[in-house]
Amino acid sequence: MALSKCEGVILRVKDFGEADRILTILSDTDGKFDAVARGARRPRSRLVGVTQQFSRVNALLFRGRNLDTLSTVELLSSYSSITSDVMKMAYASYVAELVDLMTGERQRNEMLYALVISTFEALDAGPADPDMVLKAFEIKFMSVSGFRPELARCVSCGKPENQASWFGPEAGGLLCDGCRSSDWGSVRFSAATRELAKRLLIWDYDMIAVLKPSRSSFEELNNAFRAYVDQRVGRKLHSLDFISDLKSMERGGKQDS
């Protein structure tokens, strides 16, 4: 069996057999793939601590025909602030689930890898608000996955952006009043929201920390991109239920106090 080395981030961990784990890894050079970590659930295994979800690792693997086997794993970062904060963990789960669902096996995408690492770093250490990090991630992710939304003109007739105040999730971008009905799911997308979306697309996470959008702009963006991502994924993401449960608990807690 051939040995190979890569850097990657662990998107998903699942129990396998008596004491093994199967990891879904997104790597910088080999794209997404599954690998088995033999004995990783045994308390004294050297793989136990370094095969946790969201960890960034250097891995040495034996290449198999269907499944690779991890030989040694060196931990680069465990993003401890994500794993110790339930809301951040829910957000990181959403990032991992979306990337896993939308990425084919062994398709090298260095921009995607860099995006996932920078998103985990931003969730882990700030300075941007985690809600803004997540919105920025959605726009950036759709772009590196080949679904960059049209934010400069009506995607249907080409009218300039100042005449396009709707967003069509199916159409994939701005829509003007005349074209709005061509996408039944179109939602309001004001000028302020459009500018916010453009910044989230282009700016890096550190710069995003200075953005303080109005509540209505954030809601518009949230609605538009929720619909846009759902439309492209084609099914509901499990991590969204987890996030909405946590949010309603948070709201309930505030009302009580």
Binding site for Zn ion (CB under 5 A): 154, 156-157, 159, 176, 179
Q: How far is the CB of 177 from Zn ion (least distance, A)?
A: 8
Q: How far is the CB of 153 from Zn ion (least distance, A)?
A: 8
Q: How far is the CB of 157 from Zn ion (least distance, A)?
A: 3
| C-alpha–C-alpha distance, residues 154 and 131, integer Å | 27
Tokens of 34: 């599954």
CB atoms within 10 A of CB 107: 11
Q: How far is the CB of 169 from Zn ion (least distance, A)?
A: 16
Q: Which is nearer to Zn ion, 40 or 179 (CB)?
A: 179
Q: Which is nearer to Zn ion, 176 or 229 (CB)?
A: 176
| C-alpha–C-alpha distance, residues 48 and 37, integer Å | 9
Backbone angles phi, psi at 157, to 5 degrees: -115, -10
Q: Which is nearer to Zn ion, 61 or 179 (CB)?
A: 179
Q: Which is nearer to Zn ion, 159 or 232 (CB)?
A: 159
Q: How far is the CB of 193 from Zn ion (least distance, A)?
A: 17
CA angle 55, 61, 67 (to 5 degrees): 95
Q: Which is nearer to Zn ion, 6 or 171 (CB)?
A: 171
Question: Is residue 1 packed enough to be buried (19+ CB in 10 Å), middle (13-18) or exposed (0-12)?
Answer: exposed
| C-alpha–C-alpha distance, residues 78 and 59, integer Å | 14
